[in-house]
Structure 1
């Protein structure tokens, strides 16, 4: 895959650089990123699109000159919901934006999940098991709790945050970044979003929880029950910037019975 001289860097992280290049968005991964992960994300995008979720279309997956892989999707003209939230001038405007965000999350979760999506249960159990910094007794309790995700068939984005939602110029909303999507429990997915708010936009976390509980008709207790499991999985990812907070959620496992 070749990029034009007019490409613009949108995001740069340890394992990837995201470009806008004309009418496409290109995620260029470093050679250390497994090809199977890149192809899996492309397949995930295709599957949720076929299920009826509004997502940018997959255009291409190909190898780059340095031996890495790149995923190209269509560019959707618009603004991320995160940018809109950052520019909000009042509490009422912020509430309306988070309400729109929650309504979209519930809409996605209510869409019938493709049968071949990865298992939420298996994903969380695998992540927790590899984190040997967690006390083995606590780790066992978290794995047993994750077992209760089994058998559920809802689309769970896995990284549903306002940066991954585009408010299109066409008036529609689009959801990006489907690398972590699974079939599982909506309340566990909401717990993931709650933790993401707590890590990066803490003042908005409780409002999100209130609105999700209301819009999804979901008791907050059911969401908070999964917070320790999700926190343990995030620790396994090496979230050093939020390590202390995540450990406090894990240590409070028995408080969320």
Structure 2
């Protein structure tokens, strides 16, 4: 990273799961957020005000691409703030943006079909030798038996990791959604399920979804349950592979609590 900016800049790791994010500072109090090989459609997300402003992009001799964004002074949203109207409006804007969708498709991204997601989960569980653990098998059986509920739905660009820590409120009170590395073309229920199950009380779902722009019905409830189960299992396996016992326990609880079920296991 030093060769990109020069000796006038101090570059330090900025955290994150990839280990490829950095904070760059110089003597003029300028700050940049640098990332290696971030999402190629960062430019349109920046233009739409969804992520902090993109300052420049540079390709290195080894083929890697470095992006520099304005360093965001602000804070992450709390869990209780996730039900606020600006969160609903931003995720609705993303899901309904034809510009973001068309650019994503022009990048050659293929839609993530439910069966593909299920196959990946089966393969990862077998690789980690947990396929026959009761709650893992129960989850994959549920996904297999109910895949008809989620087939043939219109795809949108989904962020796919809507944890509250990825929602940043700037000092100017502008809300941003960061970390687009896992974005996919998928059923919007993939994103909606994790927001609803983690942050919105069941009694508020109908009103929340009305503000988002859809009507709550049994089909949407079933799709949200399916994707909630699939993503919870995906996150469990991801953290299991990395030996993070605390996060594994969190996602195991999501899979075994059986709260707010609309299709019975």
TM (normalized to structure 1)?
0.66
Question: 1:103 — aligned with what?
Answer: 89
1:160–1:193 contact (8 Å) kept in structure 2: yes
Alignment equivalent of 2:251, drawn from 236, 246, 251: 246
**Residue 190 (structure 1) shift:** 1.8
Alignment equivalent of 1:16, drawn from 13, 16, 19: 19
Q: Secondary structure at the match of 2:246?
A: helix
Question: 1:80 — aligned with what?
Answer: 75
Instruction: State the distance in 1 between where 2:19 and 2:63 align.
Output: 10
Question: 1:157 — aligned with what?
Answer: 159
Alignment of 1:131 onto 2:125:
yes
1:45–1:58 contact (8 Å) kept in structure 2: no
For structure 1, the 5+ residue unaligned runs are 29-37, 87-93, 198-203
Instruction: State the distance in 1 between where 2:233 and 2:58 align.
Output: 32
**Residue 99 (structure 1) shift:** 2.9
Alignment equivalent of 1:7, drawn from 7, 11, 15: 11
Q: Secondary structure at the match of 1:128?
A: helix
How many residue pairs get aligned? The number is: 226
**Residue 10 (structure 1) shift:** 3.1
Instruction: State the distance in 1 between where 2:146 and 2:66 align.
Output: 35
Q: Secondary structure at the match of 1:24?
A: strand
Q: Secondary structure at the match of 1:139?
A: helix
Compute the RMSD of aligned alpha carbons.
4.0
TM (normalized to structure 2)?
0.65
Q: Secondary structure at the match of 2:92?
A: helix
Cα pair distance change 1:24/1:218, threshold 3 Å: farther
For structure 2, the 5+ residue unaligned runs are 25-29
Alignment of 1:120 onto 2:122:
no
Instruction: State the distance in 1 between where 2:145 and 2:58 align.
Output: 37
Alignment of 1:256 onto 2:262:
yes
Cα pair distance change 1:77/1:179, threshold 3 Å: closer
Alignment of 1:60 onto 2:57:
yes
Alignment of 1:232 onto 2:225:
no
**Residue 110 (structure 1) shift:** 1.6
